[in-house]
Structure 1
Amino acid sequence: MKAKYQEKFLVHKIQQNGDTESFAILYDLYIQKIYRFNYIKLSNREEAEDLTSEVFLKAWNYLIGNPDQVIKSFSGLIYRITRTTLVDFYRQNNKKEVSIDDIADIPSDAGIIKKLGAKQEAERVLKTLKKMKREYQEIIVLKYIEELSTSEIGDILGKNITNVRVTLHRAVKILKKLLD
């Protein structure tokens, strides 16, 4: 809970004073998560790096451009910007979205992947996840790879907590069925 208040304080300092040190702290907290999210979607390191940079630039511009806007959650804001930036990228490049493909090289701090143990099992889960619809992929990635709370996922996806829980339950049920 203390971390959320610290994030709100940092966001406030950025909005009011353009405090680059506060933004650097938030950047350090979220850079790996946002890069990993982009990499899972794109399966291309260079594109994921470029989009991650673009996301943080947009976040900075949004914060300093909206000094009176109350930001409930920086996590929610940064992931919404990430999702929008990905959609724009697909439109501009007339690219098909790569759901989850060829991602065994994701940076190593992905929590659920570590818990699975064997690399082959992780690859099997990720390939199976690729077969699911986008909404289910995103909710599973946000919950089990990014380890976000149900509330944070709701903020990111624009859904209430009950809807997130129901969707997550359905997604996990389908994933288990596909894995069997």
Structure 2
Amino acid sequence: MPINPIYHHTEEKLKEELLWVQAAQKNPKRFAPLYDKYYEQIFRYIYQRMDDKELAFDVTSQVFLKAMNNIERYEYRGVPFSSWLYRIAKSEVYQSFRDKKAKRTVSIESFQLEGMIEEWEEDRTEDNRKVLLSIIGGLKEEEVQLVEMRYFEKRSYREIGEILELTENNAKVKTHRIINKMKKIYRKSYGQL
């Protein structure tokens, strides 16, 4: 699976980012480079899950406020700082669902679906995309996140585990189980079992 440069960093980039984090830990006014680098990614992550732009802006602001106020608690674990931000964002999105401020949404581009269908060696038709969207819409939130992070964002299992607070191996096993479950439902829809 090709690596997505938006979500992956070289060792050099990780070290540079760690310097930014350490500077922000000493002085919260030095948080700006982290905010600038990750605001758009975090906003998109939130917006894709709730499909309410104004609420997504509010939740994103809350994520960065919490991150800045708690930066001294951040511990480097060999993955991008964004993993920590995504954990905060996940928590804030869930809180928004619990508070009934937002409804869960699955927002996936058709080229992403085609890639998944292609990987399963299936014909790429509009009906296939509709079936796959329906299957994804029926998944639990954590299952959707695993599929999105691995197949659409091309994240490593290590980073997925960090974001979802799972071990790397557990992230891999859960993702494979979900994909197998999806394939089974998908093929059953077409009588291909």
Give the TM interval when normalised to the shorter protein.
0.7 to 0.9
* Structure 1 residues 113 and 15: CA distance shift in structure 2, 3 A: farther
TM superposition score normalised by structure 1: 0.77
> Identity of aligned pairs, percent?
28
- Residue number in structure 1 paired with 2:18: 8
- Residue number in structure 1 paired with 2:56: 48
2:113 and 2:132 in contact (8 A); partners too: no
Is 1:135 aligned to 2:145, yes or no?
Answer: no
Cα deviation for residue 94 of structure 1 reads 6.2
- Residue number in structure 2 paired with 1:58: 66
- Residue number in structure 2 paired with 1:112: 112
1-side partners of 2:82 and 2:111: how far apart? 18
* RMSD (Å) for aligned C-alpha atoms: 2.9
Length, aligned pairs only: 168
Unaligned runs of 5+ in 2: 1-10, 119-123, 188-193
- Residue number in structure 2 paired with 1:176: 183
Stretches (4+) displaced over 6 A = 116-119
Is 1:155 aligned to 2:162, yes or no?
Answer: yes
Cα deviation for residue 122 of structure 1 reads 5.8
1:11 and 1:71 in contact (8 A); partners too: no
2-side partners of 1:150 and 1:137: how far apart? 15
The superposition leaves residues 120-165 of structure 1 with CA deviations (integer Å, 9 ceiling, x where unpaired) of: 5666544321112222111111222333211111111111111111
Cα deviation for residue 113 of structure 1 reads 5.6
Unaligned runs of 5+ in 1: none
CA radius of gyration, larger in? 2
